[in-house]
Structure 1
Amino acid sequence: MKTMHAPAAAPAAPALEHACTIVAEVAPGLPVERRGADMLEIIPITGGTVTGRISGRVEPGGADWCRERADGAYEVEARYWFRTDSGSVVDVVNVGRIAPGAPGERHGLFMSTPQFRTLDPELQWLTQRVFVGRAEAFGTHTTIDVFEVVS
């Protein structure tokens, strides 16, 4: 005889706490590769701001590698850095995907998973925790609201 178990209740979802907002100023994209209907371009990051629990300036020199896929989705991988108001350097790697637009969906809105590195002892929490980003791309900049995932 088979024993029937009641379905387990779904676990509680983690909460999100706003950590910072990054506004990365960008230059026009530079197409670098086409494979079939896929197109890869590099979007230079030229500066910007960081506000919230951390504040500072995005430094020029980073970039976002953006691949437009044949199915209408995008894959983005940005690598850049910022200097906090106190002078600390924070390295950022931010990977995301943009699904093809659904009816009523805002174009350019996407989710990402930013990761941080820094030597600053006061900012080690950035290197020890998980973050998600809600980003929106505009012509001259991308705004990323970064949230810490908390249990």
Structure 2
Amino acid sequence: MPLIEPTLRFAFEARVKIAEPLWVGRAPEEEVMFTPITGGVVEGPRLTGEVLPYGGDWSTTRGKGESTELDARYLLRADDGGTIDIHNRGWYRAENEVEQRIRAGAEVSEAEYYYRTFPVFKTDAPAHAWLNTTVFVGMARAEAIDEVRIRFFALD
């Protein structure tokens, strides 16, 4: 039997509002920050609603800034009232020159840096139970100093 190639199908995007990051500390070869999540909007063909103002992202940058491990936990509320827990882990890495352009507010193509996530959703809302048993990939980008945009794709 021939093997199938996986495909990704756009499900929805979250425009996540964030507050100023808080310095947590530094251990040998790593720096830990916490970024509070303050709200946002969820829109797409498979889910619409809001990002609730609870949770945040614990990020750990290792080495000399070569890569940052992301570990975000927050809540979504669907338009029908269903509450959805999201644990969104991932990686961010960019060349120093690209990072400087991003921090300066320049528009930078997603092809120039790696900002990817692998979310896991949990909910008991019947209309959204499909989230519990679907594998997702997220593509993220900073939209403003206080907003991150994450596009979620279901793996078919």
The TM-score with structure 1 as length reference comes to 0.85
Counterpart selection for 1:34 from 23, 26, 39:
26
Q: Percentage identity across aligned positions?
A: 33
How far apart, CA to CA, are the structure 1 residues paired with 2:73 and 2:128? 19
The residue that corresponds to 1:5 in the other structure is: none
Structure 1: unaligned runs, 5 residues or longer: 1-8
User: Which region of structure 1 is more displaced relative to structure 2, 48-57 or 137-146?
Assistant: 137-146
Deviation at 1:103, TM superposition (A): 7.1
User: Which region of structure 1 is more displaced relative to structure 2, 33-42 or 88-97?
Assistant: 33-42
Please say if residues 93 and 113 of structure 2, whose CA atoms lie closer than 8 Å, have aligned partners that are also in contact: no
Q: Is 1:145–2:151 an aligned residue pair?
A: yes
Q: Is 1:49–2:41 an aligned residue pair?
A: yes
How far apart, CA to CA, are the structure 1 residues paired with 2:134 and 2:7? 13
Over the aligned positions, Cα root-mean-square deviation in angstroms equals 2.0
Structure number with higher helix proportion: 2
Q: Is 1:127–2:132 an aligned residue pair?
A: yes
Counterpart selection for 1:19 from 3, 6, 11:
11
Q: Deviations over 1:90-114 (max 9, x none)?
A: 0000000123428777576511101
How far apart, CA to CA, are the structure 2 residues paired with 1:24 and 1:116? 16
Deviation at 1:68, TM superposition (A): 1.1
The TM-score with structure 2 as length reference comes to 0.83
Q: What amino acid sits opposite 1:111 in the alignment?
A: R
The alignment covers a number of residue pairs equal to 141
How far apart, CA to CA, are the structure 1 residues paired with 2:35 and 2:28? 21
Q: What amino acid sits opposite 2:48 in the alignment?
A: S
Q: Deviations over 1:72-104 (max 9, x none)?
A: 200001000011111110000000012342877
The residue that corresponds to 1:73 in the other structure is: 67
Please say if residues 58 and 81 of structure 1, whose CA atoms lie closer than 8 Å, have aligned partners that are also in contact: yes
Structure 2: unaligned runs, 5 residues or longer: 99-108
Q: What amino acid sits opposite 1:79 in the alignment?
A: R
Superposed structure 1 runs of 4+ greater than 3 Å apart: 102-109
